[in-house]
Amino acid sequence: MPASMSLALVATLLTSPAAGADGTEVPPWLALGESGTAEDIYSAVPEVLTTTRLRQPKARVPGTTTVISGETIRDLGMVALADVFRLVPGMTVAAVGTNQPTVSYHGTVAYEQRRLQVLIDGRTGYLPSLADVDWNAMPVPIELIDRIEVSRGPNSAAYGNNAFLASINIITLSPENTAGTGLHAQGGGPSIRNYTAYHGHARDKYSWRVAWHRRESDGYDFQYDSDDAFRKVPIRDGFEFNQFYYDGVLQPSPYHSFEFRAGVTDGIDEDDPLKMGGADLGIQGEPDDEVRDHYLQARYGYSGLDKHLIEFQTSYQRYNRDKDWTSCIQLDGVPLPLCTSLNEDLQQQRLEFELQDTWELNPDLRLVSGLGYREDGYESETFFGGSGEIYQSRLFANLEYTPVYWLTFNAGANYEHTSLLDDNFLSPRLAANLHLTENQTLRFVYSRAVRTPDALEQRANWAYTPENVSPSVYQDLEGQRIDAEYDASSPVDFSGYYAEATGDLDEERITSREISYYGQFRLGHGVLSTEVRYFYDELRDLVAGIINVEDFDLGNRVAIDQQGIELETALDLGDTRLRLAYGYMDQEGRYTANDGLSVEEQQETLAREARLSVRHTGSVSWIQRYPEDWSSALAWYVADEFRSGPYQRADLRVAKSVHGPRVSYDIAVIVQHYLNDNPLLSRDNNYTDRNQFFLEAGVRF
Amino acid sequence: MGSCFSPKARMNITNHVRAPRLRLLASLVILVAMAALAQPLSADVVYLQGSANPTFNLRFTELLEAELGPDTEVRAFASLRTFDGPAGPVITLGQEALARVLETGTQRQILALLVSPETIAGAAENAGGRMSTVYYDPPLLRQALIGRVILPQASRMALLARPEQIGDYESLTEELADYGIEARVFVVTGDEALIPTLSRALSYGDFLLATPDNVIYNPRTIKHILLTTYRRNRLVIGPSHAFVKAGVLASSYVPLPDYAAEAARFIREWQRTGVLPEPTYPETFSIEINHQVARSLNLPLPDRDEIRAEVRRLLHQSDGEATP
């Protein structure tokens, strides 16, 4: 059978079960007939689907893609979603300011990640106005992760602006794979508690699941007092969220399929008064975010046209964050402090439409193309002085062509218009995959991408509006937005309490070249898979500066050249699974703007952008099964090193599972051991104990 | 043997020669008849009750005749309704054909082909010791070893079974332990429990061994089973190569010519001893692989002949007399 057995041949075999004289004919009454729809089956095979939007085996993917299964994540005893990305070479995970993790690929992060595309079951997962990702409140329980694909390298050709350095695609388990009932609890460490419960049914035409997830954490243990640098004080950076989800899959006929998803998040995301950056707001209360998020998503697929699969997807997401507190501020030249209620309320929403056609002319010539529309909206009196929208529309396509068995070409591009810059952008990608053998491929990839600034970077109009003002001498401030215009007419200096973006930012650009190798080998009683990536990236016009109310200052100021090599290899011996990921990167940044900043300030800006850039990243994991359904997992994560020092953590999980004929359950102990006391990125990110212990239990029936 | 009349046929002919004056004429008639029917009358006969599919019946008959050679005639079983033909066993193709033959109350030996072992077991009670078969469903041990060879790192295998079948897999579980495979049975208590049970089974097993149980694995359920399994990055082996075409990764099977050859061996054994051999699996088998699924799962596969050779080696390594 040739290496690329055609679907057409499969279809022929299906329709003529008794045909053929090669001995493979099936007695007609033992054949499955038309009900065995092979096409649908193939679509379930977890090929890489993030990189080009085509389902592709790794050998044909135009770029390096890390695929981490939900099973691996659970076997390793992950307790926080962002920790998963420690398994990806080149990725760093750290909390820049508070307990909110930030994930980067190759760094270039000052505060929040802005240069990654994050998708959750196909809908955009980063916040509409800040391009940041709220990993703590993300509506994805670890228990319900199917797999996570990380397409390493620019991927704007498939997903548009913001898929600048990499794209993350989180895929949750289909309702069919969780049919039945499951309960899971995990707790320990810094008061982390994760609870998940789900129930669902899988039937011929309709499968569904409802789930509840509760996630709690107390965050770091202590920080240092701002007045006394050696005094340890508690830090208020915990969170607690309740989430409810519904997932449904409806297939009324073989050609039509519908997916529906809905979710609600309700909870509190704590913030510490000492950690709210910028101006001294004299916060007296608890400046916590009240989180009220929800999303709706629908997808329709039609496969009734010859060689075409038409998909239409729409989603609506709403992020409501109410954050208010009482401040008593000592204003310059005024004897009495101003006490008032302030807020950083922010409502954001995103509406997306996407129409996509996958056209398979033959197994060696496939085209995916489509168009998308996205509307990001925001409303915040404090951050924007009102509301605003950003409209994006785009066309995308990727052609996969295998002219000879040893060569596959991919050519893709995205053409996008964004109202934020009122401009059009083209992001192309070209790749050639040389299939050295059936299981070894050498790739050459060239891609260009852009990132347009987010709403806060471009349109920030940051000012507070006091309410419940006291003492009465400040009554004039009641309900008055303290912005530049007011400050100009006020005898009191409010200049540190408002900021406005210049609005003249341009797009960031990246040109990336990749040479990578992917190979799989049968090794004794196991399978060894290896992927090596060399990259050389040129990043230009990166937006850099400071985002806070006191010193807000951003510009297209930085250029970075970076190159490196990354290795990801896994050996699966059945009872033993070994995995190694290592990334090495040389990054060289330079200040390119001519804006009068001193050399020291320029260096500081460069250093700030490199907060999450490290030379060595890696992880080693060893998952072992033992008789009687015992198992263990040992993992070591390293990032060497951040400006504040290296990150090194070793995890151990020991689990006992019971697989009964009618019920399965498991219990586990997890230990996280930090190899040093080094507080990462901030001296306030401290745990009192370098050993964190967790217990875990689950049951399914 | 081929040129002899059966005793019964000889007696019938003798009874028809009564008057001495007609002896010469009768002798001439007999000689003419013998000349005309020389080929059939000199051959052994087997009777075939085919399936409802004439194309398949024809194909199988051709293969069987090619194996049996010109000395054995394959006649339609229906011919016995009008003429009590020569001795010879009855071959049935499929369950329906077997039922029809049993309904006639025939006392001939029956070689029931292309039916499940359960059907044979049930029918054999009614037919006494007159029935045998060449198994068509692949033996589960061989199927499990295919999984092991394709996925050499696999050490855990999951099976789905109805509550009343749990005991059927005990011996298989014990045999597989010798090959380093820990097999576990997950009980499907009803339609509603199928996917939840499968989901749990996939948490345990490195691959799923699909058994020829058409209550669990049938055209209605296979799609959901495969979707659920592949989404979990697991494999399904079996139950038959018909399922490979529908998306199962691999299954062994007996190519139809080989199956017909084994059936012919049974017939020759009957011709030699008058008794059909005990039911058995054919010695030869082939393996069908769904390469598209393998590629999608990033599964490096040996050539199917290599897989077959390795499965044979494993089978014979454990027990020189193991059934292939």
User: Do A520 and B242 lie within an 8 Å CB cutoff?
Assistant: no
User: What average pLDDT does the segment A105-116 reach?
Assistant: 85
Mutate to test the interface with B, among A13, A15, A26, A203 (most CBs of B within 10 A): A26
A129: pLDDT strictly greater than 90: no
Name the minimum distance, in Å, from the CA of B107 to any CA of chain A. 27
Cα–Cα distance for residue pair A123/A351, rounded to 1 Å: 10
> Same domain for B183 and B147?
yes
A372: pLDDT strictly greater than 90: yes
Task: Tell me whether residue B129 is in a domain.
Answer: yes
Residues of A in contact with B249 (CB under 8 A): none
What DSSP letter does each residue of A595-645 carry, written as one string? Answer: S---HHHHHHHHHHHBTT--SEEEEEEEEEEEGGGEEEEEEEEEEEEETTE
Find the CATH number of the domain harbouring B169: 3.40.50.2300
> Same domain for B120 and B166?
no
In chain A, the residue whose alpha carbon lies closest to the alpha carbon of B207 is: A574
User: Do B246 and A26 lie within an 8 Å CB cutoff?
Assistant: no
The number of folded domains in chain B is 2
Among partner residues A36, A180, A659, which is closest to B223 by beta-carbon distance?
A: A36
Residues of A in contact with B302 (CB under 8 A): 522
Write down the pLDDT at residue A38.
55
User: Do A28 and B53 lie within an 8 Å CB cutoff?
Assistant: yes
User: Do A664 and B247 lie within an 8 Å CB cutoff?
Assistant: no
pLDDT digits (tens, 9 = 90+) for A135-148: 999 999 999 999 99
> Same domain for B70 and B170?
no
pLDDT digits (tens, 9 = 90+) for A574-610: 899 999 999 999 999 999 999 888 999 999 999 988 8
> Same domain for B72 and B29?
yes
The first and second tokens of residue A286, run together, are 């608890």
Task: Tell me whether residue B111 is in a domain.
Answer: yes
Domain of B165? 140-249+290-318
Find the CATH number of the domain harbouring A286: 2.40.170.20
Cα–Cα distance for residue pair A53/A359, rounded to 1 Å: 12
Q: Which of B136, B167, B185 is the last residue of a domain?
A: B136
Write down the pLDDT at residue A35.
47
Cα–Cα distance for residue pair A183/A198, rounded to 1 Å: 7
Instruction: Compute the count of residue pairs across chains A and B with CB atoms less than 8 Å apart.
Output: 208
Task: Tell me whether residue B285 is in a domain.
Answer: no
Would you report the helix, strand and coil content of chain A in percent, each value rounded to 5? 15, 55, 30
Task: Tell me whether residue B83 is in a domain.
Answer: yes
User: Do A36 and B186 lie within an 8 Å CB cutoff?
Assistant: no
The first and second tokens of residue B184, run together, are 């576990």
Residues of B in contact with A69 (CB under 8 A): 233
Write down the pLDDT at residue A277.
58
A164: pLDDT strictly greater than 90: yes
Mutate to test the interface with A, among B58, B245, B258 (most CBs of A within 10 A): B245
Write down the pLDDT at residue A278.
53
User: Do A520 and B298 lie within an 8 Å CB cutoff?
Assistant: yes
pLDDT digits (tens, 9 = 90+) for A218-232: 998 888 887 777 888
Task: Tell me whether residue B46 is in a domain.
Answer: yes
Of A59 and A556, more confident: A556
Of A254 and B171, more confident: B171
Name the minimum distance, in Å, from the CA of A298 to any CA of chain B. 20
In chain A, the residue whose alpha carbon lies closest to the alpha carbon of B301 is: A522
Write down the pLDDT at residue A505.
96
A43: pLDDT strictly greater than 80: no
Mean pLDDT, rounded, of chain B: 83
User: What average pLDDT does the segment A32-43 reach?
Assistant: 56
Omega into B282 within 30° of 0, i.e. cis? no
Task: Tell me whether residue A20 is in a domain.
Answer: no
Name the minimum distance, in Å, from the CA of A228 to any CA of chain B. 53
User: Do A522 and B224 lie within an 8 Å CB cutoff?
Assistant: no
In chain B, the residue whose alpha carbon lies closest to the alpha carbon of A657 is: B204
pLDDT digits (tens, 9 = 90+) for B264-288: 999 999 999 989 999 999 989 999 9
Mean pLDDT, rounded, of chain A: 90
In chain A, the residue whose alpha carbon lies closest to the alpha carbon of B55 is: A18
User: What average pLDDT does the segment B115-132 reach?
Assistant: 80
User: Do A180 and B53 lie within an 8 Å CB cutoff?
Assistant: no
Of B242 and A386, more confident: A386
The number of folded domains in chain A is 1
User: What average pLDDT does the segment B146-166 reach?
Assistant: 92
Q: What percentage of chain A exceeds 70 in pLDDT? A: 93
Domain of A457? 37-700
Q: Which residue(s) pair with A636 in the sheet?
A: A620, A650
Residue ranges of alpha helices (H) inside B46-193 are 54-68, 95-103, 117-127, 140-150, 170-177
Residues of A in contact with B293 (CB under 8 A): 41-42, 45
Q: Which residue(s) pair with A366 in the sheet?
A: A360, A400
> Same domain for B27 and B107?
yes
The pLDDT confidence band at residue B191, using thresholds 50, 70 and 90, is confident
First to last CA, chain A: 42
Write down the pLDDT at residue A15.
34
pLDDT digits (tens, 9 = 90+) for A64-91: 999 999 999 999 999 999 999 999 999 9
C-alpha triplet A663, A669, A674: angle, nearest 5°: 150
The pLDDT confidence band at residue B215, using thresholds 50, 70 and 90, is very high
Task: Tell me whether residue A21 is in a domain.
Answer: no
Residues of A in contact with B55 (CB under 8 A): 18
CB neighbour list of residue B87: distance below 8 Å, 6 or more residues apart:
B6, B8, B45, B108
User: What average pLDDT does the segment A523-543 reach?
Assistant: 93
Write down the pLDDT at residue A16.
38
A39: pLDDT strictly greater than 60: no
> Same domain for B32 and B59?
yes
Cα–Cα distance for residue pair B124/B133, rounded to 1 Å: 10
User: Do B186 and A661 lie within an 8 Å CB cutoff?
Assistant: yes
> Same domain for B163 and B79?
no
Residues of B in contact with A32 (CB under 8 A): 219, 222, 242-243, 245-246
User: What average pLDDT does the segment A388-404 reach?
Assistant: 97
In chain B, the residue whose alpha carbon lies closest to the alpha carbon of A47 is: B296
> Same domain for B111 and B200?
no
Write down the pLDDT at residue A579.
98
Residues of B in contact with A438 (CB under 8 A): 300
Name the minimum distance, in Å, from the CA of A629 to any CA of chain B. 9
> Same domain for B183 and B313?
yes
The first and second tokens of residue A456, run together, are 């806060």
> Same domain for B37 and B162?
no
Find the CATH number of the domain harbouring B85: 3.40.50
Name the minimum distance, in Å, from the CA of B280 to any CA of chain A. 19
The pLDDT confidence band at residue A430, using thresholds 50, 70 and 90, is very high
Q: Which of B74, B105, B136 is the last residue of a domain?
A: B136
Write down the pLDDT at residue B106.
86
Name the minimum distance, in Å, from the CA of B281 to any CA of chain A. 17
Write down the pLDDT at residue B17.
36
pLDDT digits (tens, 9 = 90+) for A657-687: 999 888 999 999 999 999 988 887 788 888 8
In chain A, the residue whose alpha carbon lies closest to the alpha carbon of B160 is: A661
A40: pLDDT strictly greater than 70: no
- Report the length, in residues, of chain A: 701
In chain A, the residue whose alpha carbon lies closest to the alpha carbon of B243 is: A32
Burial label for B174, CB within 10 Å (0-12, 13-18, 19+), is: exposed
Task: Work out the number of other CB atoms within 10 angstroms of the CB of residue A149.
Answer: 21
Write down the pLDDT at residue A36.
44
A309: pLDDT strictly greater than 70: yes
Write down the pLDDT at residue A113.
79
Residues of A in contact with B134 (CB under 8 A): none
Among partner residues A18, A25, A45, which is closest to B293 by beta-carbon distance?
A: A45
Write down the pLDDT at residue A288.
92
> Same domain for B115 and B198?
no
Residues of B in contact with A18 (CB under 8 A): 53, 55-56, 59
A283: pLDDT strictly greater than 60: yes
Residues of A in contact with B217 (CB under 8 A): none
Q: Which of B136, B153, B178 is the last residue of a domain?
A: B136
Task: Tell me whether residue A355 is in a domain.
Answer: yes
> Same domain for B37 and B186?
no
User: Do B246 and A14 lie within an 8 Å CB cutoff?
Assistant: yes
User: What average pLDDT does the segment A484-496 reach?
Assistant: 90
User: Do A29 and B51 lie within an 8 Å CB cutoff?
Assistant: yes
Write down the pLDDT at residue A438.
85
Name the minimum distance, in Å, from the CA of B242 to any CA of chain A. 5
Residues of B in contact with A204 (CB under 8 A): 220, 224
The pLDDT confidence band at residue B87, using thresholds 50, 70 and 90, is confident
In chain B, the residue whose alpha carbon lies closest to the alpha carbon of A171 is: B231
Residues of B in contact with A630 (CB under 8 A): none
